[in-house]
Amino acid sequence: MTTVLAGYVLALADDALVAAQRMGEWIARAPQIEEDVALGNIALDLLGQARSLLTYAGSLHTPVRTEDDLAYLRDEHEFRNVHLVERPNGDFGVAMARLLVLSTYQCELYDRLRTSTDPTLAAVAAKAVKEVDYHRDHATQWVLRLGDGTEESRHRMQAALDAEWPFVAELFDGSYVDAALLGAGAAVDPGGLRPAFDHRIAGVVAEATLTLPDVGPAAGGGRRGEHTEAMAPLLDELQGVARAHPGATW
Amino acid sequence: MTTPTVGTAGSAEWRIAASVLDPEVPVLTIEDLGILRSVDVDAGGVVTVTITPTYSGCPAMEAIRDDILAAFTAAGRDAVRVEFVLSPAWTTDWMTETGRRRLEEYGVAPPARGGERLAGPGAVAITLSVRCPQCGSPDTRELSRFGSTACKSLWVCSSCREPFDHFKTI
């Protein structure tokens, strides 16, 4: 039970950690200085959530692994994040499409996880739900502004949504969640979050005068440690300093 | 709503911990901010101070821990531990009246009340006007939903034209 719980927690942690890393790449490259600050703050929230979850996942290991062990010393195939969060950054529309998808999913996830029978997960979720709700609101405002904006912004917002949509399905594929965890009320079945997610996204997309993409899902596999070619360079940057100077503190 | 403090308020140890200032908003003590949760002393005299972060990624937690330890050292107490808890999740409703007043005097518009109700995807936030801490005008607008720290957003006053921070309500 401890091992399957650690695996579940790691999946949630890695989504947050890798999303934070990608989001952080935007700092000093966003279209406005306020947006640099916004994306930096969102990345910081995600990193904070990742740290709590990684610390918890590491505590379930024997011997205990620290959050730094897990963030810096695992290899690519040991990461359990979905492909959506590791994809390279595109234009700002892509960033907002991806943030809308991720935060809407996380909002539903953490809202339900607040009542998890696992007290640590419940505590992390109760904290995180307020943060991701704010992220969702931020992404929503941009999708509305860009979608219902100029011809160019509308075109690019639609293209962004179309590009990210194949990576939505993986978020809701619950095959990585052990049945025992669901039975014990510790984990949330991500498949059950899909109707609420679809409802919310459809509302935003319609209001933004955009069209919900009609595309099939990508291959997925992130939860099994199978990643896209974008993952290795991301980890190289995330882990480079820690690996070059083992045991260093700062 | 869970009360922010337990029956340890008022003790000598509580007062030492409660004197520590928040490094990001140095007019507020950690008690004013509502992040000081409890101060317990065990039979052996070991003090355990429990604090909670405002946001999951709050980068000030380590600095606050060091400041708490330093405050106890200055008071001649060395047997002190600082623990972090996430639950129950912090809300701006835990900010004290003194804290709200000090924030406003410092030039930061305090949070609205009722942050506790806003948690979750079903909640509907009703944004009332934020009063300018400089001139008191309610004629203000939000410039950016994110400010200099995770806990603040950036506003500008249409009357006196001054920009100001608003402590976000959560």
Task: Write down the pTM of the prediction.
Answer: 0.92
User: Which tens digit of pLDDT belongs to each residue from B109-126?
Assistant: 999 887 665 555 655 555
Is residue B43 located within the same domain as residue B85? Answer: yes
Is residue B83 located within the same domain as residue B127? Answer: no
Using H for helix, E for strand and C for coil, what is the string for A186-200? CCCCHHHHHHHHHHH
Residue B102 lies in a domain: no
Is residue B78 located within the same domain as residue B112? Answer: no
- The domain of B160 spans 107-167
CATH of domain A2-212+222-243: 1.20.1260.10
Tell me the C-alpha distance between A155 and A146, whole Å: 9
Is residue B78 located within the same domain as residue B27? Answer: yes
As a whole number of Å, the end-to-end CA separation of chain B is 13
Q: Which amino acid is at A134?
A: Y
pLDDT at A128 over 90: yes
User: Which tens digit of pLDDT belongs to each residue from A172-197?
Assistant: 999 999 999 999 999 999 999 999 99
Contact assignment for B87 to A119 by CB distance below 8 Å: yes
Q: ipTM of the assembly?
A: 0.84
Residue B24 lies in a domain: yes
Q: What is the dihedral of CA B120, B109, B145, B121, to 10 degrees?
A: 10
Q: Which of A38, A48, A138 sits opposite B57 (nearest CB)?
A: A48
Q: Which residue of B has its CA nearest to A107?
A: B121
CA of A133 to nearest chain B CA: how many angstroms apart?
6
Q: Which residue of B has its CA nearest to A133?
A: B121
Tell me the C-alpha distance between B28 and B30, whole Å: 6
Domain boundary among B43, B59, B90: B90
Domain boundary among B24, B56, B90: B90
Q: Is the minimum CB–CB distance between A119 and chain B shorter than 8 Å?
A: yes
Domain boundary among B37, B63, B90: B90
Which residues of chain B neighbour A135 with C-beta distances below 8 Å?
none
Q: Which of B57, B85, B121 sits opposite A111 (nearest CB)?
A: B121
Q: Which amino acid is at A9?
A: V
Tell me the C-alpha distance between B121 and B139, whole Å: 29
Q: Which residue of A has its CA nearest to B152?
A: A41
Domain boundaries, chain A: 2-212+222-243
